[in-house]
Amino acid sequence: MKWLDALVQGVLLGGLYAQYALGMALMFGVMRIVNIAHGDLVILLALLGITLVGVLGVSPLVAPFLLVPMGVIIGWALQRGVLNRVVKADPLPSLVATFGLSIALQNLMLQIWSADTRSLSLGALSSMSIELGPLYVGVLPLGVFAFAVALTACLHLALRYTKFGRALRAAAADGEAATLSGVDAKGVYALATAIAVGILGAAAFCQATRTTVAPADGGAQLIYAFEAVIIGGMGHISGAFLGAMIVGIAQVVGSRADPGWGILSGHIVFLLVLALRPQGLMSRT
Amino acid sequence: MRAILKVRNLCAAYGDFQALFNVEFEIAAGEVVALIGANGAGKSTLLKAVTGLISPSAGEIAFAGESTSRTPAHALVRKGLAMVPEGRRLFRGMTVEDNLRVCLDRSRTDVEQALRWTIPRIHELFPVLKERRRELVERLSGGQQQMVAVGRALLAQPRLLLCDEISLGLAPKVVKEIYQKLPEIRAGGTSIVIVEQDVSLAKSSSDRLYCLLEGRVTLSGPSCEIGLEAISRAYFGAHS
């Protein structure tokens, strides 16, 4: 029973990681933009959410509806103002630019919110659970997981079957040829980053309600997102979801085996996939 | 006949290297024009300037009667300027159908229904693309990839189609098959520019030709009136 519970809790944790990973799958997996500030943006949005609720008195249930548009605006401005200037075939300029942004954001957050850990309480909903056979499953983690499944499906379908999805994949494959096909590559990239960071707005709400956040936590979210995208295979939205599930399950199962092995187990599984199938589990090559 | 493209005194440079010097180039509606010249003569640079991929250092480009200087490259496609780029430049990782749809999604809208290029029409033009429509483009042969590149450009509903070395690296049989489709494309009122290394093919497929040498137009006129000797002098320079 202990291991079945670990598996279910791992899947639910994977639901949270999937939300970090889906934004990363769009930016890194499809557009090949390495956004080192990815985790810091989750933390920034989570702290903004906590401030909206704690200082400005916004209802916690309204907060995600404000955080997602805030993420969209931040993402759009980030791509238009910074990343569109450095997007080239070489990923190094975007890596350096977002590394600088990551350091600046961490220091800004420390300045504003200090190094304390904070969280967002949803009252009774935070601890509510339902009985599923022999297991008790938290309502909130279940909601986070269901949202991740819906988001993965929407993003997958949007990339595959919409004009925007085709334009984004074309621009990522060959920006100049996409321009010659009528695609405004920079505009499409700005929209894609807006969506990616908008998803982080939802992830930030889930993070702040499920666990705690502090300005220096962004690195961990970045690593989990990278691991999920690489395990699943570059360019595959459903692969990022699968990767997030694997990282989540490995962490929970590892921590049940020994409380100190949780995070390490996730990294070991990632390294095993990298060694045995470096192209990712969902890649057709 | 009304000019669809007018290029006046065009100069273009890559840093300190000047690639085009006062180029004059004009295409009438419905005309097929060949652009020939050795490697490095400036043919691709001229096409890049026309499509807006590079900004000219001087001169004027007018497409369908409007200056293109303030129009971004992607917006020119919607006005009816499409290009088959050198090396095909297909979108890897995408199916044949998705490659075609990228252009169709952003095509010119003011086209008569009967003249409109649709995916079924592209399948009629190149039947093999119908059979392979769900396959990734990188799995197609070079000739089939070139057909996708031509089909993709046609789905933009072009007034002017620029074809940059579409015969490069293809078997003669495939080149012939693609060139045989040009009259059908032209019949819909589309003007065509063919940049071609095969001078005989360029001459026989066009109404007029221009020859470039070291960034300058060295010869222009009706293809049927220009002899191979004149082309040779213009192509290699007077000293040859």
To the nearest whole Å, the CA of A228 is away from the closest chain B CA by 21
Rounded-to-integer distance, Cα B196 and Cα B38, Å: 10
The answer to whether residue A119 is domain-embedded is no
CB contact under 8 A, B82 and A169: no
Smallest Cβ distance to B89: which of A166, A177, A182? A177
Q: Say how many CB pairs under 8 Å bridge A and B.
A: 70
Average pLDDT over residues B157-169: 91
CB contact under 8 A, A169 and B53: no
In this predicted structure, what is the pLDDT of residue A215?
Answer: 94
- In the predicted structure, residue B222 carries a pLDDT above the cut 60: yes
- In the predicted structure, residue B234 carries a pLDDT above the cut 70: yes
Rounded-to-integer distance, Cα B218 and Cα A235, Å: 48
Average pLDDT over residues B110-116: 83
- Contact residues on chain A for B100, CB-CB shorter than 8 A: none
The answer to whether residue A37 is domain-embedded is yes
- Contact residues on chain A for B107, CB-CB shorter than 8 A: 182
Residue partners of A229: CB distance under 8 A and separation at least 6: A21, A24, A25, A28, A29, A239, A240, A243
The answer to whether residue A196 is domain-embedded is yes
To the nearest whole Å, the CA of B166 is away from the closest chain A CA by 15
- Contact residues on chain A for B93, CB-CB shorter than 8 A: 169, 173, 235
Which string of b and e fits B171-206 if b means at least 16 CB within 10 Å? eeebbebbbeebeebbebebbbbbbbebbebbbebb
Rounded-to-integer distance, Cα B44 and Cα B85, Å: 9
Which DSSP state fits A126? Answer: G
In this predicted structure, what is the pLDDT of residue A283?
Answer: 79
Smallest Cβ distance to A176: which of B53, B82, B93? B53
- Contact residues on chain B for A239, CB-CB shorter than 8 A: none
pLDDT > 90 in chain A, percent = 72
pLDDT band at B240 (very low <50, low <70, confident <90, very high): very low
To the nearest whole Å, the CA of A247 is away from the closest chain B CA by 27
- In the predicted structure, residue B109 carries a pLDDT above the cut 80: yes
Q: Is B18 helix (H, G, I), strand (E, B) or coil?
A: strand
CB contact under 8 A, B106 and A181: yes
Mean per-residue pLDDT of chain B? 92
Dihedral in degrees, nearest 10, Cα atoms B230, B232, B236, B240: -90
The answer to whether residue A28 is domain-embedded is yes
Rounded-to-integer distance, Cα A26 and Cα A7, Å: 27
Task: Indicate the domain borders of chain B.
Answer: 3-236
Average pLDDT over residues A32-57: 93
In this predicted structure, what is the pLDDT of residue A3?
Answer: 87
Residue partners of B68: CB distance under 8 A and separation at least 6: B50, B52, B61, B62, B76
> Searching chain B, which residue's CA lies closest to the CA of residue A163?
B105
CB count in 10 Å sphere of residue B130: 14
pLDDT > 90 in chain B, percent = 72
Q: Look at the block and give the residue holding tokens 């909601």.
A: A143
Token duo for residue A134: 């022999």
pLDDT band at B1 (very low <50, low <70, confident <90, very high): low
> Searching chain B, which residue's CA lies closest to the CA of residue A171?
B91
The CATH label, of 3.30.365.10, 3.40.50.300, 3.40.50.1100, 3.10.200.10, for the domain at B3-236 is: 3.40.50.300
In this predicted structure, what is the pLDDT of residue B239?
Answer: 54
- In the predicted structure, residue B103 carries a pLDDT above the cut 60: yes
Q: Which residue has the higher pLDDT, B124 or B1?
A: B124
In this predicted structure, what is the pLDDT of residue B78?
Answer: 93
Range of the structural domain that residue A29 is part of: 2-113+135-276
- In this predicted model, what pLDDT tens digit does every residue of A93-118 receive, in sequence order? 888 999 999 999 999 999 999 999 99
The answer to whether residue A217 is domain-embedded is yes
Smallest Cβ distance to B93: which of A178, A182, A235? A235
User: Is residue B163 a contact partner of residue B192, using CB atoms and an 8 Å limit?
Assistant: yes
> Searching chain B, which residue's CA lies closest to the CA of residue A175?
B91
Prediction ipTM score: 0.91
The answer to whether residue A283 is domain-embedded is no
In this predicted structure, what is the pLDDT of residue B138?
Answer: 94
Average pLDDT over residues B96-125: 91
Which of B91, B96, B109 is the best mutation test for A, with the most CBs of A within 10 A?
B91
CB contact under 8 A, A176 and B85: yes
Q: Which residue has the higher pLDDT, A167 or A136?
A: A167
In this predicted structure, what is the pLDDT of residue B108?
Answer: 86
Alpha helices in chain B (DSSP H): 43-51, 73-78, 96-104, 119-125, 128-131, 142-154, 172-179, 182-187, 199-205, 228-236
Is any Cβ of chain B less than 8 angstroms from the Cβ of A181?
A: yes
Q: Tell me how far CA of residue B197 lies from CA of A167, A274, B36, B78, B213, in angstroms.
A: 32, 46, 6, 29, 13
To the nearest whole Å, the CA of A175 is away from the closest chain B CA by 9
> Searching chain B, which residue's CA lies closest to the CA of residue A170?
B91
Average pLDDT over residues A64-77: 96
Q: Tell me how far CA of residue A37 lies from CA of A27, A53, A77, A186, A200, in angstroms.
A: 12, 24, 14, 20, 12
- Contact residues on chain B for A179, CB-CB shorter than 8 A: 53, 73-74
Average pLDDT over residues B110-128: 90
CB contact under 8 A, A177 and B90: yes
In this predicted structure, what is the pLDDT of residue A65?
Answer: 95
The answer to whether residue A82 is domain-embedded is yes
The answer to whether residue A120 is domain-embedded is no
Smallest Cβ distance to A174: which of B51, B53, B91? B91
In this predicted structure, what is the pLDDT of residue A135?
Answer: 85
In this predicted structure, what is the pLDDT of residue B111?
Answer: 83
- In the predicted structure, residue A58 carries a pLDDT above the cut 60: yes
Average pLDDT over residues B119-134: 94
Please count the structural domains in chain A.
Answer: 1
